[in-house]
Structure 1
Amino acid sequence: MTKEVGVHWICQACRQAPAVEDVRDDDPRQPYSLCHECADRLRHYALRPIEWFNLAALHGWTKFLLHDDFYDQDGEASQPDVDDYATDDMRAPTLEMCAGSLERLIDFCVTRWRLGKEEFEAFRPFATGTVLAAIEDRAEAGNRQVWETMVQLCANVVGSPAAPWVRAQFERAWRDRSLFIWAEAAAKCLPAAEGLHKTIDALKTVQGRDLEKQMSALSWFGAPAVLDWIEARLPRQDVTASWGQLASVSDLNWSRVQSWLASGRPLSLVAIDALASFIPRQGQARILTILDPKLKGCGDRSMIVHALRTYEAQDSAPRVATKCSFIIQYVNELRTE
């Protein structure tokens, strides 16, 4: 869907020609303001890299017409619906090229599929207050993906000075089902107990599969209190591995694992899944790679092997047998502290 507009601003993609169309094809609420040529390239998944970058910086890369189904992270089209696609050497800027401008650096972060240490460290030359003000302005103007990126930057770049702003973002996080994103900022920007208690309170009314999805927000706090929460909220049946993963990043110690194994199902299943989460492997959840959890208080891995074999003798279900076999096979790689 297209709407002709008067020439009041520059094309959001090329930033050279006048904008004469509002393209609303994938988001009527936040249209792309484009020149005719860029609008045509957008619809044919054939933007040149700098054009994709400029649009993704404003709108986020998760919109359908900018999605990673059609462009790589450098903005080059992977499925152009034209016969003569060419980038014309109009490359998207690199991190190094953006690092000298705070606004352009934020643009770069919005276009990334994932952010990491390199992007966060690029903000060091800028004053914290200046960064926070820019983040607040961009979050206010942006859609959900842009807002989530700003919350992530607050968590990893600004820290405690962002506490008032992070605190004020809770309602939006809950409304947009972005509790996981908000919780990282809460863990890193708010007083230690505040973010955890706010997150636990938010989960009181959540049940079933929805709880399993949203409880991952508790992962950021690394708090033993989460283990108590697991004991209180764990369902009696259909216990998925997500419960064990959450336990593994919540300061889990060997004595608690032993207690859970001795208590039998369902907590024993959580204990086994948690032990498996301490073993790094391909395809593991990204949160485990980020947090790198370690089992506390177990100096002798042979105790783990003995405990699992003892438990398996009482519960030989295929799920248990498979997971115990995996842990025993790779017990020397199980991360401990």
Structure 2
Amino acid sequence: MAITDFCEACKRNEINVVEASDDPSQPYKLCNQCHERLVKYSLRPIEWYNLAVVHSPNKFSLHDDFYEENGEAFQPEEDIVVTKKDKAPTLREVRDNLESLLDFSITRWFLEDDVINALKKHNNQKTLSSVKSRFYVTGNYEVKSRMLEIVADVLGASASGWVRELWENYDEDLLYPISWATASSLPSEEGLSNIFEQLKLVGEKELPIAAFTCLHRFRSSNVLDWIESTSTSFNDNWGRLASICFPTWERMKTWLNKGRPLSLIALDTMANCVKGYGDMYVEQFSPKILCTDNYEVEPIINDYYQKDGVPRVKMKVARIMENKQEIFDKG
């Protein structure tokens, strides 16, 4: 975390080169040797790691086309000699030290369960203090985003005060990660109100994917109400989002009766409850259509098909009929 005049990669030599990165406001600051290895995709693991802590592994020169998650180069343009001291830290080595663990979390492509569980073993208030400090000291979007992911997956309600501050000083570039943090830290109605207000500013074409990204963690029937009042055209993401928000059969009937786009969204919502449908993210929630009168399903869906028999509807109806037991739940 300390800002020094030493090379960001090796942390030993003085800075000789300032190399532009994807972010013009955050260039790489390197010694001559590390600069040469950077441009030749030949960084040692610890050098890659140190740069990833500052710049995130999503920068072009650091990303997974060139390096594994342990910092080993895939396609170096020069030979690399890696000694024990040149290896990147492992989770086992850093998990007991909060600052080192937070560094490690930034270098991961995704914030996965092993890191989340390690962070949960630390004091929430100390973690929050460090997360806030890192958030404000960096201008790097990916690092800021990772800090908000930690709020979402580790800190939850203990960070509610800070999340409210972030909404008061809202940065539109951070809508997605602020939304994730909001879902875990604020009461549902309060959080959704903030997000719905910002989604009003999103264009019609981008809205469905923005809505899914912002709202999927809430899993709230209020989201279904919002979809019903907001969607103006069909998009796959409406059904993805609806399926994980505890949809009822009564609502599916209502949407079918309203016609397009809600009728198509209803069919997609039901189809998304089938394992192997193609959406691994949705599948992990094992979505169901709740409170179903099983005797109604087939006649009502077939009746809709008679009115709207296009190939897409035919395919979805067939999938739903073949998987009724998996999709519909009386509870």
SS at match of 2:216: helix
- Give 5+ residue unaligned stretches, structure 2: none
Aligned residue in 2 for 1:257? 252
Query: Offset of 1:198 from its aligned partner?
Result: 0.6
* Contact 1:102-1:123 at 8 Å conserved across structures: yes
SS at match of 1:169: helix
* 137, 148, 162: which one aligns with 1:141: 137
Matched, 1:323 2:316: yes
Matched, 1:223 2:220: yes
* Contact 1:279-1:335 at 8 Å conserved across structures: no
Query: Offset of 1:322 from its aligned partner?
Result: 1.5
Aligned residue in 2 for 1:273? 268
Aligned residue in 2 for 1:53? 49
SS at match of 1:220: coil
Query: Offset of 1:147 from its aligned partner?
Result: 0.4
Matched, 1:243 2:246: no
Instruction: Please give the alpha-carbon distance, in whole angstroms, between the structure 2 residues aligned to 1:299 and 1:232.
Output: 25
* Contact 1:76-1:87 at 8 Å conserved across structures: no
Aligned residue in 2 for 1:14? 10
Aligned residue in 2 for 1:155? 152
CA, structure 1 residues 329+46, in 2 after alignment: closer, same or farther (shift >3 Å)? farther
CA, structure 1 residues 79+330, in 2 after alignment: closer, same or farther (shift >3 Å)? farther
* Contact 2:271-2:277 at 8 Å conserved across structures: no
Query: Offset of 1:292 from its aligned partner?
Result: 4.2
* Contact 2:55-2:143 at 8 Å conserved across structures: yes
The one-letter code sitting in structure 2 at the alignment partner of 1:103 is E
Query: Offset of 1:96 from its aligned partner?
Result: 1.5
Query: Offset of 1:16 from its aligned partner?
Result: 2.9
Aligned residue in 1 for 2:292? 298
Query: Offset of 1:129 from its aligned partner?
Result: 0.7
Instruction: Please give the alpha-carbon distance, in whole angstroms, between the structure 1 residues aligned to 2:283 and 2:244.
Output: 11
Bigger mean CA deviation after superposition, 304-313 or 189-198:
304-313
The one-letter code sitting in structure 2 at the alignment partner of 1:38 is C
* Contact 2:152-2:180 at 8 Å conserved across structures: yes
* 118, 122, 140: which one aligns with 2:118: 122
Aligned residue in 1 for 2:29? 33
Query: Offset of 1:68 from its aligned partner?
Result: 1.7
CA-to-partner distance for each residue in 1:191-214, whole Å, 9 max, x for gaps?
231111111111223331121232
Instruction: Please give the alpha-carbon distance, in whole angstroms, between the structure 1 residues aligned to 2:184 and 2:48.
Output: 32
SS at match of 2:35: helix
Matched, 1:23 2:16: no
* Contact 1:293-1:335 at 8 Å conserved across structures: no
The one-letter code sitting in structure 1 at the alignment partner of 2:193 is H
Query: Offset of 1:18 from its aligned partner?
Result: 3.0
Aligned residue in 1 for 2:190? 194
* Contact 1:45-1:81 at 8 Å conserved across structures: yes
Instruction: Please give the alpha-carbon distance, in whole angstroms, between the structure 1 residues aligned to 2:134 and 2:211.
Output: 28
Bigger mean CA deviation after superposition, 142-151 or 106-115:
106-115
* Contact 2:249-2:293 at 8 Å conserved across structures: no
Aligned residue in 2 for 1:169? 166
* Contact 1:179-1:214 at 8 Å conserved across structures: no
Aligned residue in 1 for 2:98? 102
CA, structure 1 residues 282+310, in 2 after alignment: closer, same or farther (shift >3 Å)? closer
Bigger mean CA deviation after superposition, 144-153 or 165-174:
165-174
CA, structure 1 residues 264+28, in 2 after alignment: closer, same or farther (shift >3 Å)? closer
* 124, 129, 132: which one aligns with 2:128: 132
CA-to-partner distance for each residue in 1:100-126, whole Å, 9 max, x for gaps?
111111111111111122211102332
What RMSD, in angstroms, separates the aligned Cα atoms of the two structures?
2.2
CA, structure 1 residues 87+254, in 2 after alignment: closer, same or farther (shift >3 Å)? farther
Instruction: Please give the alpha-carbon distance, in whole angstroms, between the structure 2 residues aligned to 1:290 and 1:107.
Output: 29
The alignment of Structure 1 onto Structure 2 pairs a total of residues equal to 324
- Give 5+ residue unaligned stretches, structure 1: 1-7
SS at match of 2:18: strand
Instruction: Please give the alpha-carbon distance, in whole angstroms, between the structure 1 residues aligned to 2:206 and 2:41.
Output: 35
CA, structure 1 residues 69+272, in 2 after alignment: closer, same or farther (shift >3 Å)? same
Query: Offset of 1:228 from its aligned partner?
Result: 1.6
Instruction: Please give the alpha-carbon distance, in whole angstroms, between the structure 2 residues aligned to 1:262 and 1:112.
Output: 46
* 298, 308, 315: which one aligns with 2:301: 308
* Contact 1:110-1:146 at 8 Å conserved across structures: yes
CA, structure 1 residues 211+112, in 2 after alignment: closer, same or farther (shift >3 Å)? same
CA, structure 1 residues 198+25, in 2 after alignment: closer, same or farther (shift >3 Å)? closer
Q: TM-score w.r.t. structure 2 length?
A: 0.90
* Contact 1:203-1:211 at 8 Å conserved across structures: yes
